[in-house]
Structure 1
Amino acid sequence: MSPREDTVLSTMQDVPLLISRILTHGSTVHGTSQVITWTGEGEPHRRSFAEIGARAAQLAHALRDTLGIRGDDRVATLAWNNAEHVEAYFAVPSMGAVLHTLNLRLPPEQLVWIVNHAADRVVIVNGSLLPLLAPLLPRLGTVEHVVVAGPGDRSLLDGAAVRVHEYEELIAGRPTSYDWPELDERAAAAMCYTSGTTGDPKGVVYSHRSVYLHSMQIVMAEAMGLTDRDTSLVVVPQFHVNAWGLPHATFMSGVNMLMPDRFLQPAPLAEMIESVRPTHAAAVPTIWQGLLAELTARPRDISSLNRVIIGGSACPPSLMQAFDKLGAPVCHAWGMTETSPLGTISHAPAHSLGTDEEFGYRVTQGRFPAGVEARLTGPGGERLPWDGESTGELEVRGNWIAGSYYNGPDAPPLRPDDKFSEDGWLKTGDVGTISPDGFLTLTDRAKDVIKSGGEWISSVELENALMSHPVVAEAAVVAVPDDRWGERPLATVVLKEGAAADFASLSAFLEERCGIAKWQLPERWTIIEGVPKTSVGKFDKKVLRKRYADGELDVTRL
């Protein structure tokens, strides 16, 4: 829409917000900052931001001149968190192509569908992941080139109907600078697909503008507050919503990145924290639960950590308290693939510090930043107040919030009614409350809330209470059919190694110690070896519901 004739325009320059500008800034102003990749033996590999910038330029030249990447061609990565993956993060979108990170934990059938749907032309893969990629190649109809980085069995690609390149050989001798094009800031920069828990995965395409603004928010004090004095342990995978925006944000602010590569087990994570001394870390709750068990069994010095960001699913308060005692305070955050992902982050407000209110704020999902607008919608579509009590589905919109899904290279954007409102807000599928001062408390996913006798029971509240019991390692609660009440909660419990507990005592603990109302207490209980997880580490409750329906669980009824 053109401005009215009487509109007064600003005198500001109109410079596009581009990922190439983040790269140039980071590799010059913060050129001595480092990407530190854990190798599992000896000293970690270190590469400065200046070197990353030079190698990103070499990769861009190789993609254009040798592999023929042009315009908005899609370049996929199937890789761990490491320096080469960071180089691709910047090279591909900066040259005008689109980076497509592939979730290496998805089932093979979903990976095939995603690559074909996105029409990826190139896959940059870590050598250790060739056993995953090689069997899929015959079904990847658009892939022409595979670029292999790092050690791995190349013979697995023998006979593949694609051209195979060695990463280091491909970029060697190329110019270390690139004339990055002046792109439209609204152009596609990167894409991620949802995990497809219902139906096919859905593609979310991020623009240069959305990535730039999201990066600015990440480094702000009210978000992660990152500066060049920090080292961030980036455990959250680079294939999971752009590693929560950390690679871009760190180049914007000069933060060193400690990348774990494939060493994501609790023991090596504890070792890298003790030896490299990061000040900041980000991962889903299951990672921190495993690390806590490791630190309990074999104490390590993690005193360098002054901020631990936990998101992806609700953090049990007991886990938060445990890391507080270790001197590594937890900050809760909420987001999703469609929100880039930062939606909220939970810093207790100044007036609560040092009071009994402080922890109550910290266990919420947090406060909305200025770039995210939010509202609650009731079952009939009515708007609900921010009073901390009214419960409804969370809807959001903002500068880095998806307005539609990718529908293939030749199809219009996809806007399903169950995901977007008529006026364009994203329906998150999360149910909760918002306080008058903008703190979000999620009580459940809309699909996971338990509707018992006309009342809602929060599965998350029951899970957090159970996981505060000293013998419980994990707990997931799901709705199961009930003849009288419609639905009732089934509690599936994972006990700590060597521990024992009876269900009656666990039920009494919920009621007497945690204040759970008697009508909300589960009657059905079972012990399981481990809670099934999705590809990004969230509890996969649909698997538990199916196992119950198929009679595979040994259920005790109190």
Structure 2
Amino acid sequence: MDGLMMDQPLLLNTLLWRTERLFHDKKIVTRTGPGEYHSYTYADYAKRVRRLASALLDFGVKPGDRVGTIAWNHYRHFETYFGVPGIGAVLHTINMRLFPEQQQYLINHAQDSVLIIDEDQIPVVEQLVALGIPSVRAFIVMGDGPIPETTLSPVHRYDDLVAAGREDYEFPVFDENTAAAMCYTSATTGDPKGVVYSHRAMVLQAMCLAMHDKLNMSESQVWLEVAPMFHCNGWNIPHTALLQGATLVLPGIHPLDADYVRTIEDLRVTGMNGAVTIGTMMRDFVRASDRDWDLSSLRTMWLGGQAPSLAIMQWWEQTYGTYVVQGYGMTECTPQICFNSIKSTLAERGEDEVYALRQKGGQPIPLMKIKVVGEDGGELPWDGTSVGDFWVQSPFTAREYFEDERTKESMVDGWFRTGDVGAIDPDGYVIIKDRSKDLIKSGGEWISSIDLENALMAHPKVREATVVSVPHEKWLERPLACVVPADESLTEEELREYLTQGFAKWWIPDSFLFVTEVPKTSVGKYNKKEIRGIYAQGGNAEILRRIGAGSAKPVA
């Protein structure tokens, strides 16, 4: 017997329909300069989105066409989030931090037909044309003034295109499984893999994020979207903010840590999301500043990419009362898999125990299933100690990559193999031990680089730290630590003694290199692949030469 419910598809434009009516007077704010902001209402936003959608149709964009963007976090870029998929086309947000050759690969693999770009990206796109992007037939430039002189052709001004559209345009109804957006993995190994999100997946993910108690994306929030809008659709936060009618704040073009801090103070921001490195840089900026910053409005800071350290959690909470929350996600999962929140039955535990829980990857979000699979292929118990590979399954998890043979390596029997290794405790909190490729096998025993990193980052004299595997003649692999000191009095011996309090001696890195910075990927994660590559070219000395030796006292 079938249910007797209306067959209404889950489409992104249904979120917009609700918001432009219920939250028509709420704002989208974009930083345009120091202390300067562009602001308009969701009602104005919806009119421009409809104009954009109709103009793209008139421009010749058809359902299924891929429209690429290379742009910063601002209101025009956000308009493409609903305008492009609203007509059945596919929004492809391109990582603007990649090398031109990598961007060329993404554009050609996705077969983008149109590129919508910020005007400061024109020189980069000119390079892409020279390299070869034959599927692209037109360029649309976003900016406040006339289009700068360029060799791109044909080239159009974004605002002129929007002005030519119709604000009473009605979005068509189509199947909810229609592609809405494309993102590519950050490719720590091999070429990036394309993930195609459906309307259904993105609507469900936004609704799941809206439910989360610690995120609390309610109408009263003033939320700063720091995570790049090209990375997993800004972690789907823009869609969730719009769904709930929260004030959405976008940091604009070329933001720095000082801009985030000033924006929070100026606009009384209540929540933000960004990479762990962003939270660290903001802390360091505030510490070094010659003035006091009023960030007391900031109640929630979602830091991702890797687990935030205990030190960063405690500093924000003790200094401003800001609750640092984390989750666990991947491009393939639209992107969230788990989100951390302390169950009421566990909240009365001691402070140290609660902080330990908060450093776990969290519990699976609604509609997400997760299991731990052992080396023999069997499912392991949720006992907090049985370590294996994480496999996941949900309505917003990719079932295959876009035109990529690597699908068969990752998607098995309806489950996605994440490539992450860890355990799950009896309350469902995920404990991430490492990426499978980053685990260190020393003398036949496994060492978790993440556990060592978290311990090092908790040291008061450490600003950043990462641990990688390097070859060893006897033990095959050994851990190497790259540390950015926060205090020049830090010594290698001090770190060794510190780590021996919590780890077996054979876990302790053979070398601690004090460096000026830890290399980052294009999405702000520690770039272990780059460090391993530099080591292979000349060992510790080459790392110090290429990255830069940090200021720290040598071991006596």
What TM-score range do you get, normalising by the shorter chain? over 0.9
Q: Work out whether 1:239 is the aligned partner of 2:227.
A: no
Q: Which amino acid aligns with 1:127?
A: E
2:302, 2:408 → 1: CA distance? 32
Structure-2 residue corresponding to 1:457:
447
TM-score w.r.t. the length of structure 2 is 0.94
* Equivalent residue runs for 1:84-163 within 5 Å: 84-138=76-130, 139-151=132-144, 154-158=147-151, 160=152, 162-163=153-154
Q: Work out whether 1:500 is the aligned partner of 2:496.
A: no
Q: Work out whether 1:510 is the aligned partner of 2:503.
A: no
1:38–1:263 CA contact under 8 A, matched in 2: no
1:130–1:153 CA contact under 8 A, matched in 2: no
Alignment CA distance shift 1:414-1:546 (3 Å) = closer
After TM superposition, give the deviation of residue 231 of structure 1 in Å: 1.0
How many residues matched? 539
Q: Which amino acid aligns with 1:365?
A: G
Q: Which amino acid aligns with 1:343?
A: I
2:533, 2:190 → 1: CA distance? 16
Structure-2 residue corresponding to 1:472:
462
Q: Work out whether 1:538 is the aligned partner of 2:549.
A: no
1:103-140 CA-to-partner distances (Å, cap 9, x unmatched) read: 00111111001101111111111112222222212311
2:216, 2:421 → 1: CA distance? 28
2:174, 2:392 → 1: CA distance? 28
Structure-2 residue corresponding to 1:314:
307
1:126–1:151 CA contact under 8 A, matched in 2: no
1:525–1:557 CA contact under 8 A, matched in 2: no
Aligned counterpart in structure 2 of residue 59 of structure 1, from 52, 69, 74 = 52
Alignment CA distance shift 1:280-1:155 (3 Å) = closer
TM-score w.r.t. the length of structure 1 is 0.94
Structure-2 residue corresponding to 1:331:
325
1:263–1:269 CA contact under 8 A, matched in 2: no
Structure-1 residue corresponding to 2:377:
381
* Equivalent residue runs for 1:178-193 within 5 Å: 178-193=169-184
Q: Work out whether 1:46 is the aligned partner of 2:35.
A: no
Aligned counterpart in structure 2 of residue 209 of structure 1, from 174, 195, 200 = 200
Q: Work out whether 1:402 is the aligned partner of 2:398.
A: yes
2:104, 2:164 → 1: CA distance? 34
Aligned with 1:137: secondary structure?
helix
Q: Which amino acid aligns with 1:392?
A: G
Q: Which amino acid aligns with 1:32?
A: D
Aligned with 2:540: secondary structure?
coil
What is the RMSD of the two structures over their aligned residues, measured on CA atoms?
1.7
2:477, 2:110 → 1: CA distance? 40
After TM superposition, give the deviation of residue 51 of structure 1 in Å: 0.7
Aligned with 2:116: secondary structure?
strand
Structure-2 residue corresponding to 1:19:
12
After TM superposition, give the deviation of residue 264 of structure 1 in Å: 2.8
After TM superposition, give the deviation of residue 469 of structure 1 in Å: 1.8
1:40–1:263 CA contact under 8 A, matched in 2: no
Aligned with 1:296: secondary structure?
helix
1:96, 1:416 → 2: CA distance? 25
2:254, 2:99 → 1: CA distance? 21
2:435, 2:178 → 1: CA distance? 32
1:130–1:156 CA contact under 8 A, matched in 2: no
Structure-1 residue corresponding to 2:516:
529
Q: Work out whether 1:291 is the aligned partner of 2:282.
A: yes
2:555, 2:431 → 1: CA distance? 31
Structure 1 outlier segments of 4+, above 6 Å:
555-558
After TM superposition, give the deviation of residue 414 of structure 1 in Å: 4.4
2:27, 2:54 → 1: CA distance? 23
Structure 1 unpaired stretches of 5+: 1-7, 408-412
Q: Which amino acid aligns with 2:508?
A: L
* Equivalent residue runs for 1:243-262 within 5 Å: 243-262=234-253
After TM superposition, give the deviation of residue 42 of structure 1 in Å: 4.2
Aligned with 1:228: secondary structure?
coil
Aligned counterpart in structure 1 of residue 190 of structure 2, from 195, 199, 205 = 199
1:184-237 CA-to-partner distances (Å, cap 9, x unmatched) read: 000100000112221111100000100110110010034622111111110001
Alignment CA distance shift 1:144-1:223 (3 Å) = farther
Aligned with 1:17: secondary structure?
coil
1:392–1:431 CA contact under 8 A, matched in 2: yes
Select between 20-29 and 52-61 the one with higher mean Cα deviation. 20-29
After TM superposition, give the deviation of residue 456 of structure 1 in Å: 1.1
1:153, 1:455 → 2: CA distance? 62
Alignment CA distance shift 1:37-1:196 (3 Å) = same
Structure 2 unpaired stretches of 5+: 545-553
Q: Give % identity.
A: 39
Q: Which amino acid aligns with 1:141?
A: P
Q: Which amino acid aligns with 1:452?
A: S
Structure-2 residue corresponding to 1:355:
349
Q: Which amino acid aligns with 2:411?
A: F
Structure-2 residue corresponding to 1:429:
419
Q: Which amino acid aligns with 1:140?
A: I
* Equivalent residue runs for 1:62-73 within 5 Å: 62-65=55-58, 67-73=59-65
2:31–2:252 CA contact under 8 A, matched in 1: yes
2:49–2:80 CA contact under 8 A, matched in 1: yes
After TM superposition, give the deviation of residue 263 of structure 1 in Å: 4.1
